[in-house]
Amino acid sequence: MNGKWKAPFCTLLVLYSLLLSALFQSCYSAFHLPRPIWKKQQQKSGSSFVFPLAGNVYPKGYYQVTLEVGQPPKPYSLDIDTGSDLTWLQCDAPCAKCTPAPHSLYKPNKNVVMCKDPLCTSLHWPKNHPCHGLDEQCDYEVAYADRGSSLGVLVKDMFPLRFTNGSIVVPHLVFGCGYSQEVPASTHPPFTDGILGLGNGKSSIVSQLSGLGLIRNVVGHCLSGQGGGFLFFGDDILPSSGIAWTPIVRISSEKHFSLGPAELFFDGQATGVKGFPVIFDSGSTFSYFSSEAYDILVSSIKKNINAKQLTDAVDDKSLPVCWNGSKSFKSVNDATSYFKPLTLSFMKAKNVELQLQPEAYLILTEHGNVCLGILNGTEVGLGNYNVIGDISLLDKMVIYDNEKQQVGWLPANCNRLPISRDHGEYYYDAYPTNMGIFEQICPAKFDSSKQQARK
């Protein structure tokens, strides 16, 4: 019996080995896809990338998106920021100074970007950034208005992404490997792995995707007042009408979105504040007005308040200006009837206004009080700039169109992911946070790795 079955068993073993080899080769090759050469005309395809967001204005203080990076891909949570252009991850290079984060540090693997790379030059422009050798790496340091910073080196790695039409691409993109982060002692750092820079510089992820011909250079967000929302790259999901557009005003080397001068109205009445420059910044939790505009705003609000209904909540230190009612408020909506709307009228566009209802400038604190979510920007070093932050952008689809050099907005339901024009009127794209991309490519391998990650 043993001699009779020996040959067939060996044959089956060989065939089984070949089958396994083919299976693992297909899984392995998913991580080593050749860098594709995308044609410029693919920008005409109209596809977009859509990502769900997590977070809120208060008490969390930021909105974050989860992207997968590397080979094999690993998830990283990033604070979305239209006020800067460089994306960076906390990095084991090794890390000299890193803050607590939800995922393990990114590990570079011989993928450093060289100093002579055009993206390195654009990141440091207009400053002179001399390169002293062909093998010199591209170092970076970015500083933020809150006096936080990140120091590191540029690297390039794979970003698996899914279009709204279902197709998958894995481009190589440049980002920062941050091995030293500074956080002011007075602030609580966001519990994220880094920052997703969405400004209009060439080093932003959106600009790189556009340069590869994958999307148009358009980015937008919809931040829900209930928490969460969505982020999108590309212009496929934009509604055909109803968007209020105003041009982007370019100021020297600045990479944020400046909308130029505006006039401030309180309850439809002119406040006398004119010509103050406005910036939209999703990386800012609250809005900030320069001292003059801030003082006039606070004075206008306090004059309008009925002292029998609201009193100053001097014991509530959540924010500088707070009020309490006859009983604790359960939601911001409980207090909005005591306040009046604000309006910003943009002087670079005809009849374009940003309406800020009370819920767009008030927060509810844990003490049941409401506080003014517009702060004095001059006191924190913003000079004459006026920053419109997350609190004032809630429940609006905000679009930053770098190709047409304009910013637009319209009211929106940010609790639902947007309709894709690729699929018709009633199709709602639903993308899980990790998009399920690599489970489709190699289910067994990635299910195993995810189970290990949860342990």
Residue 363 burial by Cβ neighbours in a 10 Å radius (0-12, 13-18, 19+)? buried
Closest alpha carbon to 261 in 348, 382, 147? 348
How many residues does this entry show for the chain?
A: 455
Q: State residue 352 phi and psi, 5-degree precision.
A: -110, 120
Distance CA 323, CA 309 (A): 10
Distance of alpha carbon 336 from alpha carbon 198, whole angstroms: 32
CB 42 within 8 A of CB 215: no
* CB proximity list for 301: less than 8 A, separation 6 or greater: 266, 339, 340, 372
Q: Are 406 and 263 in contact (CB under 8 A)?
A: no
Which of helix, strand or coil describes residue 281? coil
* Distance of alpha carbon 205 from alpha carbon 175, whole angstroms: 8
Which one from 79, 236, 281, 390 is the annotated catalytic residue?
281
Token couple for 446: 């990635």
Cα torsion for 343, 64, 234, 211, to the nearest 10°? 120
Q: CB-based contacts of 364: which residues, under 8 Å, 6+ apart? A: 58, 329, 330, 331, 332, 335, 370
Q: Measured between alpha carbons, how far is 99 from 85 in angstroms, rounded to an integer?
A: 21
Which of the residues 81, 157, 193, 236 is marked catalytic? 81
Round to whole Å and give the CA distance between 392 and 360: 4
Q: Measured between alpha carbons, how far is residue 206 from residues 6, 57, 85, 86, 402 in Å?
A: 60, 24, 9, 10, 10
Q: Is 81 noted as a catalytic residue in this protein?
A: yes
Sign of CA dihedral 241, 242, 244, 250: negative
CB 367 within 8 A of CB 167: no
Instruction: Tell me the one-letter amino acid at 34.
Output: P
Q: What's the distance, Cα to Cα, between the start and end of the chain in Å?
A: 48
Query: Which tokens sit at 22?
Result: 């083919």
Strand 161-162 relative to strand 168-169: parallel, antiparallel, unpaired?
Answer: antiparallel
How many other CB atoms sit within 10 Å of the CB of residue 379? 12
Question: What stretches of 4-81 adopt beta strand conformation (E)?
Answer: 49-56, 62-69, 74-81
- Positions marked active-site: 81, 281
